[in-house]
Amino acid sequence: MWFLKQNEYKKTNIAVNSSPDKLLEMKETVEKLKSIIDTLPEQQKTVIELRDRDGYTFDEIAEIMKMNAVNVRVCLSRARKKVRELLQKTYEYGSGKDKRITEEIL
């Protein structure tokens, strides 16, 4: 999952088995992801939120956004790529705790 809803930290296996320090790190990383996702073009932002946050299927997203499922997949792929690029650029993502925590969230 790309990011967690505000009150879902305790609902995940990661959170249940984590120390307070790790939970704080996870929350900070989630906030970074949210701020990056907010900078995406509207279509990419909507697709990534519907798929990764809300758990809609590709067909459901296609119906909601009046696109075909293949275009939804392409849009999601591009959105995720852009998020990774912005993480690397903005937060020097690629090593250390942010990468490890983001991989756990994803």
Q: Which tens digits make up the pLDDT trace of 41-89?
A: 999 999 999 999 999 999 999 999 999 999 999 999 999 999 988 888 8
Look at the chain and report how many structural domains it folds into.
Answer: 1
CATH number of the domain where residue 28 is located: 1.10.10.10
Question: Residue 2 domain-assigned?
Answer: no
Question: Residue 18 domain-assigned?
Answer: yes
- Indicate if the pLDDT at residue 99 is higher than 50: yes
Instruction: Kindly give the residue spans of alpha helices, DSSP state H, lying in the chain.
Output: 13-16, 20-37, 42-48, 58-65, 69-91, 97-105
Question: Residue 4 domain-assigned?
Answer: no
Question: Residue 3 domain-assigned?
Answer: no
Owning domain of residue 68: 9-105
Question: Residue 1 domain-assigned?
Answer: no
